[in-house]
Structure 1
Amino acid sequence: MKNTTLSIILTLLFSTPIFSQIQLSDETKKYIEYNDPVIVLKNGLLIDGKGDASKPKQTIIIKNGKIEWLGDDAKANLPKGANIIDLNGKAIMPGLVMLHEHMYISASSKEPKYPNLRQLPMSFPKMYLASGATTIRTCGSIEPYSDIRIKKDIDLGLLPGPSIELTAPYIEGKSSRFPQMKENKTPDEAAAFVNYWADQGFTSFKAYIGVDKPTLKAAIDAAHKRKLKITGHLDMVTYQEAAELGIDNLEHGFMACTDFVADKNENEKPASGKAYQSLGSIDIESENTKNFMKFLIDKKVGITSSLAVFEGNTTTQPKPNEDALNAMSPETRDYYLKNFAAIKSAKTLWDYDKAFANNAKMEKMFYKMGGLLTVGTDPTGNGGILAGYGTWRAIELLVEADGFTPLEAIKIATLNGAKA
């Protein structure tokens, strides 16, 4: 499906009214296959993104960037002068709406005090689009002005890429292991941080692992006052505490959940490894777990799955994807392969493997109980998760690990992302 949907996705993206009103650059034009006033896609396998059964032999008529008619080939009244494209049974589906994306990747670093996060402004937007992602949320920025420029250049037609919802730099607490993140010492600082980046044009926010409850509450209140949303990759604050404070979304499924750590103190990080141990040992079917899920759902807190990046730390991860390896720079490839070998040979990751398996079950339980589950790539971790390649792996794992049907996985990656 990766290869067969791309030209259709480009058709829908580049024939929209916004692009008809601007002058496209030569660079962008290289990636446009169809740009006609009237386009007919016929003989396609239609996947609507709502979880419904796929339909063969379907026609879609697009006029001036909008779908005018959709239905069986036999019932189609084809407009004169249209560019008619016979899909020959290939699939057509909505563009992916991916909600944990970045414009940077983990890279090698000889100094552990300064982890190396490398911005990739030219390759990553194209790779997201090539995978079928027509909308992404950046979910945390390390080069905010670069992210602003990337979005601007795409919106102006200067560069090809998906529609971007900009997430501001991370809202960190008093101490951060990443030098790119501002350390907010007080709740007032966090509120001022939100307001500053909202003024720069960022439309969503992400709290990070070092925030405590007062800091998180200040950030949530400041974002909501401006009618903007905030998500979180948490640690010191539990999921239930964050939901009580009004957070809109939580990242990484339940892999960042510290609610089940027995001896966790309020506003403190659990001891190293305790969160994974607790997640790997809980009873998924217990009333306690179900009540926890219901609480999040009642509070209308969404959950974003990011299985691909966590798979990279399991002993059961598959061998490296050859296409992804070929897309890496030599330095990135070397960094990733060393990490891969070390993890595959590790003897002490069983707690992590169990946590990964339970997280997958909990994601599906959350979805089946009525929670809004979305999905993202998160090109960080061990260095093997790339935009595009990791995007599809994240969706594939919804089927392989969580046990969703392919149509459910596509719904999570399209309609649910749009709802969120």
Structure 2
Amino acid sequence: MHKILIVFIFAAFFSAPVFSQIKFSDETKKYIEYNDSINVFKNALLIDGKGNDTKPHQTIIISNGKIIWIGDDTKASIPKGAKTIDLNGKTLMPGLVMLHEHMYISAPSMETRQFFMHQLPLTFPRLYLAAGATTIRTAGNIEPYADLNLKKDIETGKVPGPSIEATAPYMDGNQSPFQQLNKLDKPENAINFVNYWADQGFTSFKGYMFLDKLTLKAAIDAVHKRKLKITAHLCSVTYREAAEMGIDQLEHGFLASTDFVTDKKENQCPPNADEIFAKLNVQSDSVRSFLKFLIDKKTIITSTLAVFEGFTTTQPAPSAELLSYFSPDSRDFYLNLFARLKSAKAPSDYDKAFANNAKMEKMFYEMGGLLTVGTDPTGNGGTIAGFGNWRAIELLVEADGFTPLEAIKIATQNGSIALGFDKTIGTIEIGKSADLLIIDGDPSKNISDLRKVQFVFKNGVGYNSKKLFESVKGKVGFN
């Protein structure tokens, strides 16, 4: 009876030559390999995104962009004429759900030593999608209308890219040195800010380093009144203070925490937080109590190891492949800073802080906290979309000590839970969106096999990863 029902479902959908109602532009069509109403993947090594062991010889059937059947190859009923893709043992896993992404790159001024960001509306959306990120949260922007218009262009098929959960412009305080950010100096300004940008279409918000307690609390309450979510990169306010206010999420693992600075002044960002964090005994009762407090408050933590690795003396040298994607000026800036950091003779306080953060992320997860992962393509200029996604997930294994399957769960299911999208994306289950990656390897054994992604399916439409990558070579930094 079950097989008969499945065949009936197939028949109902099979009359349409393609499932997608989106009218893709000619440019987007260049990268689409599959756009059929029904696709059947057979002989797949299945990673479901929930942390379960892999399953070989699996068939997954998608119809009209949704997963409608999963099971052993021998039990599958394949409809006549359906598009069948024999994976020959390749991995099929959920698309990545990455929660600290941006559409800009670091562009500091070496003359004035000020920090600027440069929007990359062409290269970054393609790199995210090519690497397997089917859903991203932008976690702050410096060109709000550019982000909103990009989101719309992707949704309408005009340009290729991931599904975007758009975060409003940063909310920072008067002490902020960043010229491109809005500086909010009192609670009523935060409330007006939230309501304005929510009306424009942004669905998440982000507090920044120099926001004071009263203004952050007003922002949190205003966001929640709109039934939206808010995260923060803190410094002037501690994690404990923000969690007490009811903030949904905190960024950068624990490297942005100033909770352990004993002489910290209220509403001020201490200059020695990294040094103190480097000397922290992460196995102490105070640290465990701190983590338990955050977990009890249901505060989500986003790991962003890739961007912080770029300031350690132990970071690996960039590959020739990575460098081939940079424009000349962006590449030179990155390589100059990389050489200065690598010239250090001994481990720095930052190296020790990085290691402590990795230990605390693992402790937080094992104690029951919800850990997610993101890229943050800023920092030393070498962490970019796509490649940075992969490195952030690899470091969950290399630095934090997670198993590959745990790291994949953090980068898929956990991200979807944090966004409130876990009913539709994040795992391979019947009824969910067909956001899937085909990988010529087994990342459950070697996490770096994530770099072998061949096709990225978003809502059942299959994009050629290699073609997307090739389209932006030498352009990161230009646009």
TM-score (norm 1): 0.94
Counterpart code for 1:200: Q
CA shift, 1:145, in A, is 0.5
Verify the 8 A CA contact 1:99 1:417 in the aligned structure 2. yes
CA deviation digits over 1:99-119, x for unaligned, max 9?
Answer: 000000012423435423110
Q: Tell me the distance in 2 between the aligned counterparts of 1:92 and 1:177.
A: 45
Tell me what 1:259 maps to: 259
SS state at 1:255 partner: coil
CA contact (8 A) 1:134 1:162 kept: yes
Q: Does 2:90 match 1:56?
A: no
Equivalent position SS for 1:250: strand
Q: Which protein has greater RCO, CA pairs closer than 8 Å, 6+ apart?
A: 2
What is the aligned partner in structure 2 of residue 142 from structure 1? 142
8 Å CA contact retained: 1:19, 1:157: no
Structure 1 ranges of 4+ moved more than 6 A: none
Distance 2:286 2:391 in 1: 31
Q: Deviations over 1:165-197 (max 9, x none)?
A: 000000001122111111112111111111111
* Residues 18-417 of structure 1: pairs in structure 2 closer than 5 A: 20-112=20-112, 114-270=114-270, 272=271, 274-347=272-345, 350-417=348-415
Deviation at 1:346, TM superposition (A): 2.9
Structure 2: distance between partners of 1:52 and 1:279? 34
Partner Cα distance (2:186, 2:108) in 1 = 32
Which letter maps to 2:205? F
Structure 1: how far apart are the matches of 2:338 and 2:59?
45
1:99-152 deviation digits (Å, cap 9, x = unpaired): 000000012423435423110001100100001000000000000000011000
- Matched residues in 1 for 2:93 and 2:320: separation? 26
Matched to 1:64, the amino acid is: N
Could you tell me which runs of 5 or more consecutive residues in structure 2 were left unpaired when the two chains were aligned: 1-17, 419-479
Residue deviations 1:353-407 (CA, integer Å, cap 9, x gap): 1100000000000000110000000000000001000000000000000000000
How far apart, in 2, do the equivalents of 1:148 and 1:79 lie?
40
**Equivalent AA in structure 2 for residue 335 of structure 1:** F
CA distance in 1 between partners of 2:58 and 2:22 (Å): 31
- Most deviating of 79-88 and 107-116: 107-116
Q: Is the 8 A contact 2:103 2:120 kept in 1?
A: yes
Maintained 8 Å contact 2:19/2:37: no
Percent identity between matched residues is 68
Paired residues of 1:96 and 1:133 also in contact (CA < 8 A): yes
> What amino acid does structure 1 have at the position aligned with 2:97?
V
- How many angstroms does 1:47 deviate by? 0.4
SS in 2 for 1:327: coil
Give secondary structure in 2 for the equivalent of 1:267.
Answer: coil
Report the TM-score, using the length of structure 2 for normalisation.
0.82
Rounded Cα–Cα distance in structure 2 between residues aligned with 1:59 and 1:196:
47
d(CA) in 1 for partners of 2:240, 2:158:
44
* Alpha-carbon separation, structure 1, partners of 2:92 and 2:177: 43
Shift of 1:237: 0.4
Shift of 1:64: 1.6
Q: Secondary structure at the match of 1:33?
A: strand
Cα-to-partner distance string for 1:58-80 (whole Å, 9 max, x where unaligned)? 11111121111111111111111
String of CA shifts for 1:4-59, please: whole Å, max 9, x gaps. xxxxxxxxxxxxxx972221111111111111111110111100000000111111
CA contact (8 A) 1:357 1:401 kept: yes
Q: Is the 8 A contact 1:98 1:137 kept in 2?
A: yes
Q: Is the 8 A contact 2:19 2:65 kept in 1?
A: no
**Cα offset for 1:239?**
0.3
Matched-pair contact (CA < 8 Å) for 1:258–1:275? yes
Partner SS state of residue 206, structure 1: strand
| Matched residue, 1:13 | none
**RMSD after superposition:** 1.3
Aligned residues: 401
Which amino acid in structure 1 is aligned with residue 324 of structure 2? Answer: N
- 3-state SS in 1 of match to 2:57: strand
Amino acid of the structure 2 residue aligned with 1:396: E
Segment of structure 1 superposing worse, 76-85 or 247-256 = 76-85
User: CA 1:108–1:242 in structure 2 vs 1: closer, same or farther (change >3 Å)?
Assistant: closer
- Give the aligned partner of residue 423 of structure 2: none
* Structure 2 counterpart of 1:70, one-letter code: I
Letter in 2 for 1:84: T
Which amino acid in 1 is paired with 2:44? G
Partner Cα separation in structure 2 for residue 355 and residue 136 of structure 1: 27
| CA distance in structure 2 between the partners assigned to 1:347 and 1:296 by the alignment | 37
In terms of mean alpha carbon deviation, does 316-325 or 138-147 score higher?
A: 316-325
Shift of 1:282: 1.6
Shift of 1:347: 5.0
C-alpha deviations, 1:315-335, integer Å up to 9, x for none? 000011222110000000000
Q: Deviations over 1:230-256 (max 9, x none)?
A: 100000100000001111100000010
- Compared CA separation, residues 169 and 349, structure 1 to 2 (3 A): farther
Report if the CA contact (8 A) 1:47-1:93 is conserved.
yes
